Chain A
């Protein structure tokens, strides 16, 4: 190959095609945008972890003892898969972006992944501690019905009245041991909480959303053994019916309701 020939040929083509060196800012912008996208993906990974921590901590661990299922099938049923998928997607996005930065290729995959996971966990812990995990879960449940459907198995546990689970909104309080609750399907229940362990007595107020484990006496009466707050989006609760239309439960605690027939919730 003739040395001068190739060099002259290249210069000729450069001139003919008016090739110019691309400006430095273009390369800098592309490199910085990769860094930015990588950092955003790590932060989003942190957000996912904060929701995962919230959902796992809020996973009603006391419930599984009441169910026939063993611990593994309970974990399998209630793991926040959607957020785990988000976490993997964000980790891959962060990996792709950082790997493609100017010197990203020098980092080994295990080093890069462990650094990203560690960072995401630190951020996730911090986000969880300031309530971001819970806020996002509630917001998503409120805004995106699909999201709620995907995670609904967690809440549907509280519809299994025959197995001793009940969740809903308190519509009348007679005493701390005696109140009415409307469940997620709009049925009114009379609750006997005289033998219940309550995580916090303050939750037994009007319009509080609670979930309880106990025993169903009949279609309308429930004896609670354990009561805890229910972080369920208000929007997804059935509208409270007109007080005239509510058919009050009869039976075990009928007398108490009759003494105080006014529905304080309205």
Chain B
């Protein structure tokens, strides 16, 4: 890691936004900070290939750079960049005239446990099998339900962040999440999967 990279690591998101506005080369540090998280998020929302994910990500970062002056410091920068990513995924698939379908990325064990115990606290399923089943059931849910489950359990966002990302009131997020959990359980029952 170079000295500059080391310095950039210590900067907050807002400081990096300000530095990027002064010199576009500084935008690299914001890209590096978020590219892994965002590519995982895109992968969880879609079944896009690695190339597609990279294309979407490039468009996301160009859009972020173009709109840096629109970033509202009352929001978390991460919420704002997730929102742009979410919108870009939707518009990418609208252009391709197909809907995003399910995830194709490995789910971390901690996330898996958290998700399974929240849906069914008695869950003791084998992790490998659980991972596959969660993936399959998520695939079958409507996009709006999949989105909230992904944001809550895989991106570990709180209600306010989810509200800022999806541009929906906090109350609506709560309702959506409850319905998503219920639908997930119903789908699991239908598929005779015990999570």
B6 smallest CB distance to A (angstroms): 15
Total chain B interface residues with beta-carbon distance under 8 A: 32
**Could you tell me if B70 and A27 are in contact, using CB atoms closer than 8 angstroms?**
yes
**Could you tell me if A23 and B66 are in contact, using CB atoms closer than 8 angstroms?**
no
B41 within 8 A of A: no
B25 within 8 A of A: yes
**Could you tell me if A14 and B62 are in contact, using CB atoms closer than 8 angstroms?**
yes
**Could you tell me if B171 and A108 are in contact, using CB atoms closer than 8 angstroms?**
yes
Q: Which residues of chain A have C-beta atoms less than 8 A from B39's C-beta?
A: 1
B91 within 8 A of A: no
Total chain A interface residues with beta-carbon distance under 8 A: 27
Q: Which residues of chain B have C-beta atoms less than 8 A from A262's C-beta?
A: none
A201 within 8 A of B: no
B94 within 8 A of A: no
A102 to B67 Cα, complex, angstroms = 14
A19 within 8 A of B: yes
**Could you tell me if B69 and A23 are in contact, using CB atoms closer than 8 angstroms?**
yes
Q: Which residues of chain B have C-beta atoms less than 8 A from A11's C-beta?
A: 24-25, 27-28, 31
Interface of A is mostly: helix
A6 within 8 A of B: yes
B163 within 8 A of A: yes
B172 within 8 A of A: yes
CB proximity to A under 8 Å, residues B66-80: 66-70, 72, 74
**Could you tell me if B62 and A13 are in contact, using CB atoms closer than 8 angstroms?**
yes
Closest to B63 in A: A19
1/0 per residue, CB under 8 A from A, across B161-181: the answer is 001000111111000000000
**Could you tell me if B169 and A105 are in contact, using CB atoms closer than 8 angstroms?**
yes
Q: Which of A8, A19, A27, A105 contacts B62 (CB 8 A)?
A: A19
CB proximity to B under 8 Å, residues A5-39: 6-11, 13-15, 17, 19-24, 26-27
Residue ranges of A at the interface with B (Cβ–Cβ < 8 Å): 1, 3-4, 6-11, 13-15, 17, 19-24, 26-27, 102-103, 105-108
**18 extra interface residue pairs, beta carbon distance < 8 Å, beyond A7-B28, A27-B67:** A1-B50, A3-B32, A3-B36, A6-B31, A6-B35, A6-B57, A8-B28, A10-B27, A10-B61, A11-B24, A13-B62, A14-B27, A15-B24, A17-B62, A22-B66, A24-B69, A27-B70, A105-B168
